[in-house]
Chain A
């Protein structure tokens, strides 16, 4: 079974630009979550999608947005990039079962550098 894939793996952008990151979950998984990892703040939850609906959102500004497609693939977008957005962006997929969070399987991440 293929794991979670994220594209691109590395990205360099300039302040003010926007960026779109992509995540393909494990086949059969309907929940996709996004996390930002930085040395200072650690791992922080961005949002979670299930069946094309955002179910939960972390404390990030509106510049961070996402969406999920009918095949469960997800994208996240960051507009008007700031230097502080430089981070490893991790995507996690899970079955999305009700009654409790099942195991989340993480992708290798996209390393975003903003200059």
Chain B
């Protein structure tokens, strides 16, 4: 069975600090997909990134970067120079390639509440 663990329940930082959100996953599949979503106070989940299991390259998008390490089953997310607007709950999610016929079933971690203080 697939599982996603986000050990950090809450993180509080001061603006401009760098912060890393951890995500550890479990799956028996060799083909799978990992996602990060942001949920601001408004409640709507915002897609951030998708990564498949064959692409271990790290990715940088502006102040966001992701470190994917299959050896440790981790897909960590770093925000550089955090801003107050980054305050939200961040979810890591996993989709196995085949789950009951389709692969659109996401298993989410419990989320990490990030608070960026001015």
Chain A residues within 8 Å of B, Cβ to Cβ: 31, 33, 35, 42-45, 48, 50, 55-58, 88, 90, 92, 94, 96, 100-109
Contact = CB atoms under 8 A, between A and B. Distances in A.
A109 B104 contact: no
A76 B33 CA distance: 26
A109 B43 contact: yes
B42 A45 contact: no
Nearest to B52: A100
Contacts of B19: none
Interface residues of B, number: 28
Interface of B: 33, 35, 37, 42-47, 50, 52, 91, 93, 95, 97, 99-111
B105 A48 contact: yes
A100 B47 contact: no
Contacts of B44: 106-109
A94 B47 CA distance: 11
Contacts of B107: 45
B43 A96 contact: no
Contact of A104 (B42, B47, B99, B110): B47
Contact of A100 (B93, B97, B101): B97
Contact of A56 (B33, B91, B99): B99
A33 B45 contact: no
Contacts of B93: 43
A48 B109 CA distance: 19
B53 to A, nearest CB: 10
Nearest to B37: A106
A53 to B, nearest CB: 10
Nearest to B45: A106
Nearest to A90: B45
Contacts of A31: 104
Which of the listed residues A33, A43, A102, A109 has the most CB atoms from chain B within 10 Å of its own CB? A43
A33 B43 contact: no
